[in-house]
Chains A and B, each alone.
Chain A
Amino acid sequence: MAGLRKRRARRQQALRWVVVTLFAVLFLLPLIAMFEFTTRDGWDTWRVFFNWKALGETYPILWTGMKASFWLVLLSVALTLVLLVPTVVWVRLRLPRLRRVVEFVSLLPLTVPAVVLVVGLAPVYAWVVYFVGGSSVTLFLAYTVLALPFAYRAIDAGLSAIDVRTLSEAARSLGSSWATVMWRVVLPNIRSAVLSAAFLTVALVLGEFTIASLLNRDNIQVAINQLGKSSATMSVAVSLAALVLAFALLFLLSFAGRRRNRERKTS
């Protein structure tokens, strides 16, 4: 039995190395190709890329796109968390019968492709333009819809790991207000879940193209696409930087998620 298990472990390890190596090659090949592509005619592309002033002057689209994406990330994360965290906690505590409804609604955007949503968003955005203007930054209102399913799952998983009801009843019976319960009791307990919801929203907003492009707004992806028509090397360089950045972001997130699991195990 033990020999059998050892043999199987060895076989699994061999398989793991073969598959993971193949995967790594396939994952890295485009990245290496992108790097080679951008450095084929010297390092000028990267020199411009890291000199932000020159970058803004040479490629104004890129600069506006980056600025817009920066604000979009901040505002989308803020709106997603402000909208979702209190609602999900509140529903768990006070309105358990609405839980299925909130879950259904939050996961609904998965069945509405972004390209479909944009068709229906056009008239809504006519009103947005009327009230607050046509800036690209207003896209965060639409991006929050796209982020809902992922953020909901993360927050819901975090809340399932703790006993919200007991915690909040304890705090309430000691005389704290609902705001205190939310801010000082529930939130610190689901910190890593909130963090992971925020990370997922960041990644989603940085990668969004469909809505921005079809509503004629600017963001980093639209800029990359525009740039591809005039300066292929620069657009590939920005793509590479974006992919590496997103990878670093998610790699960090994997540590946050693990820590949560360990906490749960020890408690």
Chain B
Amino acid sequence: MTAPTTGTLEAPTTTGVRGGRRHRSRIRDLLGVVPFFVYVAVFLFIPTIVVVVGAFAGDDGRPTLENISALADDYIVEAFVRSITLSAVTAILGAVIGALVAYAVVTAGPDSLVRRLVTSACGVLAQFGGVTLAFAFIATIGFSGFVTVFLKDSLGIDIFSGGMWLFDLPGLVLVYTYFQIPLMVIVFLPALDGVRPQWREATESLGGSTFYYWRRVAAPLLAPAFIGSTLLLFANAFSAYATAAALVSQGSPIVPLQIRSALTSEVLLGRENLGKAMALGMVLVVALVMWLYGLLQRRTSRWLD
């Protein structure tokens, strides 16, 4: 009875001494992450706070809801609708085509040259893109582009008979899809890698057909990854700026371009912080999409990791 009591009596004193030392070394440990957090605070948190606070402040710095209510203006609502439509259409097109390419690549084996070439090409197109892609399309199907000239001279087809659509929304759909497909390949490949051949063999040995395998085994397993990737593609297209900035010459059909004109022109007096309100709107849309993506990601990793 006495032995355990002394034991419990001694314990607090030792932890007390060790606790003090641990406390001091804990502070020293925390110093190690200070540079990272200071940097992130200045170049990520402050800009975000500037956007959020600015969205609710008037030109004089007083709090106001005018910027937010200005988001209901027709031209801004239209820009958001166009942005969301553009992102959704290109995300779905990119996801379907990209998944097919990813599947074709995954059958080639992880170390094959085909896979290496395709993933490198995808990396370039998906992440490097921007201005260079816009110029690539101008050289390909611009007014005097390679394909345009070829079609006109040898087949007599004028792809711009209905107007110069490349520098407007239809052009954006085309170029965006062009960088969405490669992004889908990159983000969907890991999920396909996680599908084990044994699952297919198990289905077959139980008498399931190929269609049955895809319908009952592969599709349910891959669905969260597919939807998650589609969401990522949506966020990617929604936040893209460079391609549109280089391609669209007149007007500001989508939100990022509206923000550009809010930043560069000072025509609208009393609307200094409108750009910040639109930026806040963009963050909210992307954050919602990325949150859903995170949920699906967790579901995906249960099976395909």
Please state if A251 and B116 are interface contacts (CB–CB under 8 Å). Answer: yes
A37–B140 alpha-carbon span in the complex (Å):
8
- Asked whether B49 is an interface residue with its Cβ less than 8 Å from the other chain, the reply is yes
Residue of A87, A98, A208, A255 most packed against chain B (CB within 10 A): A87
Please state if A207 and B33 are interface contacts (CB–CB under 8 Å). Answer: no
A4–B208 alpha-carbon span in the complex (Å):
13
Please state if A108 and B241 are interface contacts (CB–CB under 8 Å). Answer: no
Partner of A124, one of B42, B132, B280: B42
How many chain-A residues does the 8 Å CB contact rule pick out?
Answer: 85
A18–B105 alpha-carbon span in the complex (Å):
11
A121–B45 alpha-carbon span in the complex (Å):
10
A-B pairs with CB below 8 Å: how many?
243
Please state if B140 and A16 are interface contacts (CB–CB under 8 Å). Answer: no
The closest CB in chain B to the CB of A27 belongs to B121
Say yes or no: A113-B239 contact (C-beta < 8 A), given A207-B129, A254-B116.
yes
Please state if B139 and A30 are interface contacts (CB–CB under 8 Å). Answer: yes
Q: Say how far B1's CB is from chain A's closest CB, in angstroms.
A: 38
A119–B144 alpha-carbon span in the complex (Å):
36
Say yes or no: A247-B124 contact (C-beta < 8 A), given A144-B43, A210-B242, A239-B136.
yes
Say yes or no: A102-B135 contact (C-beta < 8 A), given A113-B286, A207-B127, A207-B130.
no
The interface-forming segment of A54-62, A167-175, A185-193, A228-236 is A228-236
The closest CB in chain A to the CB of B129 belongs to A207
- Asked whether A23 is an interface residue with its Cβ less than 8 Å from the other chain, the reply is yes
A12–B238 alpha-carbon span in the complex (Å):
34
Please state if B131 and A221 are interface contacts (CB–CB under 8 Å). Answer: yes
CB proximity to B under 8 Å, residues A66-94: 83-84, 86-87, 90-91, 94
Please state if A209 and B242 are interface contacts (CB–CB under 8 Å). Answer: yes
Q: Say how far A215's CB is from chain B's closest CB, in angstroms.
A: 10
Please state if A37 and B241 are interface contacts (CB–CB under 8 Å). Answer: no
- Residue-wise interface mask of B (106-125) relative to A, using a CB-CB cutoff of 8 A (1 in contact, 0 not): 01101100101111110111
Please state if B139 and A120 are interface contacts (CB–CB under 8 Å). Answer: no
Residues in A with CB closer than 8 Å to B40 are 105, 145, 148
Partner of B287, one of A23, A111, A123: A111
- Asked whether B32 is an interface residue with its Cβ less than 8 Å from the other chain, the reply is yes
- Asked whether A31 is an interface residue with its Cβ less than 8 Å from the other chain, the reply is yes
Say yes or no: A95-B29 contact (C-beta < 8 A), given A115-B241, A117-B47, A254-B120.
yes
The interface-forming segment of B12-20, B66-74, B255-263 is B255-263
- Residue-wise interface mask of B (22-40) relative to A, using a CB-CB cutoff of 8 A (1 in contact, 0 not): 0000000110110111011
Q: Say how far A193's CB is from chain B's closest CB, in angstroms.
A: 16
Residues in A with CB closer than 8 Å to B35 are 83, 87
CB proximity to A under 8 Å, residues B279-295: 279-280, 282-283, 286-287, 290
Q: Say how far A72's CB is from chain B's closest CB, in angstroms.
A: 15
Residues in A with CB closer than 8 Å to B107 are 12-13, 15-16
